[in-house]
Chains A and B, each alone.
Chain A
Amino acid sequence: MKSEKFDVKIFWTALDKSRITNSYTWKQVAEKSGVSASTLSRLSQGKRPDVDSLSALISWSGLDSRRFVGFSSDNSNGNDRLTEITLHLRADKTLKPEAAETIEAMITAAYQRMQKDKHTGE
């Protein structure tokens, strides 16, 4: 089954381009659009914005919201695979291979737990 969805990732990329073109910091985007910094950072993670925030960002940026509505496959078995890990980590500049392996294993397990929690509504 196919469903029309708002593509948050592409919208974020377009918003970022708009920001860079105008030489704004994200703080300035927040102030000018009236959207809080926490909402912007949620958006940067790929989370879907609320309607009011989306409306404010569209209004500020002048982007056409229809550009970001497309068709995507409905993932009916609910299995989002962890295809890439993006990571914030404050540690020594060189992470030992054993530590990197352990971290990767933990993240994979945590991601699976998040998927399970999502489906059980926790």
Chain B
Amino acid sequence: MRKLRHGFKAEADWYAQDLRQDLKIEPNSPISIQAIAILLGIKIYEFSDFLKLDSKYASLNNISALCFHSNGHCAALVNDRHSERRINSSLCHEFAHILLCHKTEFLSSSNNGCRNFDQIKESEANWLAGSILIPNIAAHHIVFSEKPHNQSAKEYGVSLKMLNFRLHVSGAIKKKERSDKKRLKN
């Protein structure tokens, strides 16, 4: 992952809170991907709405979700053969690009499949997606609630790997360790 620009991590947490404010939910609560889609005016369809052949699914096996827009209409297509958590993560990544107003790319099957891949934008969208799903305040809440991690992962609609990553990078785990040490001393 490319190094993020100075201040971006704080910015990502701000986006996560801005969305929760718009949705009128608590700062540390799980967030519904469907609710974000409605807020952003994005209609969600499933691959199975349009794909009938298994061979077509096979060609898109590594794609969980994609977003497109044209003429003011925006929609997401999700691979309904993938797990809900994988879809959540991928959709959140695409929504992150939209929230960051990243310039989009044109798709054409005639350009031999070569894509305009911007690593900086991908890194930003990756980080923001994680922040949206588990903002810093939620990470601290999870760690201090001492609930089993797989239970929290289910509650927040993320993989255990994503949960553990966010608990570490938010500083929540370190803070809990310091708090436990202090308690033991006393």
On whether the beta carbons of A103 and B60 are closer than 8 Å, the reply is yes
Chain A interface mostly helix, strand, loop or mixed? Answer: helix
A114 touching B43 in the complex, CB below 8 Å, given contacts A38-B18, A103-B66: yes
Contact A100 B18 (CB under 8 A): no
A110 touches B107 (CB 8 A): no
Please indicate the chain B residues that have their CB under 8 angstroms from the CB of A36 in the complex. 18, 21-22
Residues of B within 8 Å of A40, CB to CB, are 101
A47 to B75, CA, bound (A): 13
Interface check B68, CB cutoff 8 A: yes
Selected from B15, B50, B70, the residue in CB contact (under 8 A) with A85 is B70
Confirm or deny: A93 has a beta carbon within 8 angstroms of a beta carbon on chain B: yes
Does A86 lie within 8 Å of B63, measured CB to CB? no
Query: Are A107 and B105 in contact (CB-based, < 8 A)?
Result: no
CA distance A8 to B60 in the complex (A): 34
Residues facing B in A49-76 (CB within 8 A) are: none
Chain A, range 75-98, C-beta contacts under 8 Å to B: 80, 82-98
- Which one, B92-100, B154-162, B163-171, is touching chain A? B92-100
- Tell whether, in the assembled complex, residue A88 and residue B40 are in contact, meaning their CB atoms are under 8 Å apart: no
- Asked if B67 and A87 sit within 8 Å, CB to CB, the answer is yes
Contacts of A83 in B (CB 8 A): 70-71
Residues 46-75 of B at the A interface (beta carbon under 8 Å) = 47, 49-51, 56, 59-60, 62-75
Contact (Cβ within 8 A) A86 B106: yes
B144 at the A interface (CB under 8 A): no
- Nearest Cβ distance between residue B54 and chain A, in whole angstroms? 12
Knowing A26-B101, A87-B67, say if A100 contacts B45 (CB, 8 Å): no
Let me know if B107 and A37 touch, CB within 8 A.
no
The interface residues of chain B lying within 8 Å CB-to-CB of A37 are: 15, 18-19, 99
A107 x B15 contact (CB < 8 A): no
The answer to whether B59 and A42 have CB atoms under 8 Å apart is: no
A44's nearest neighbour on chain B, judged by CB, is: B101
Residue A4, interface by CB 8 Å: no
Q: Report the stretch among B111-119, B135-143, B145-153, B175-183 that lies at the interface.
A: B111-119
Chain A residue at minimal CB-CB distance from B102: A88
Complex interface: chain A residues within 8 A of B59 (CB)? 96, 98-99, 102
Known: A38-B19, A42-B41. A87 touches B107 (CB 8 A): yes
Contacts of A42 in B (CB 8 A): 40-41
Interface residues of B (CB under 8 A from A): 11, 14-15, 18-19, 21-22, 39-41, 43, 45, 47, 49-51, 56, 59-60, 62-75, 77, 90, 93-94, 97-102, 104-109, 111-115, 117, 122, 125
Interface residue ranges, A against B (CB under 8 Å): 8, 16, 25-27, 30, 36-38, 40-42, 44-48, 80, 82-107, 109-111, 113-115, 117-118
Instruction: Pick the 9 closest A-B CB pairs, nearest first.
Output: A46-B72, A86-B104, A100-B109, A95-B113, A101-B109, A88-B67, A87-B107, A89-B66, A93-B117
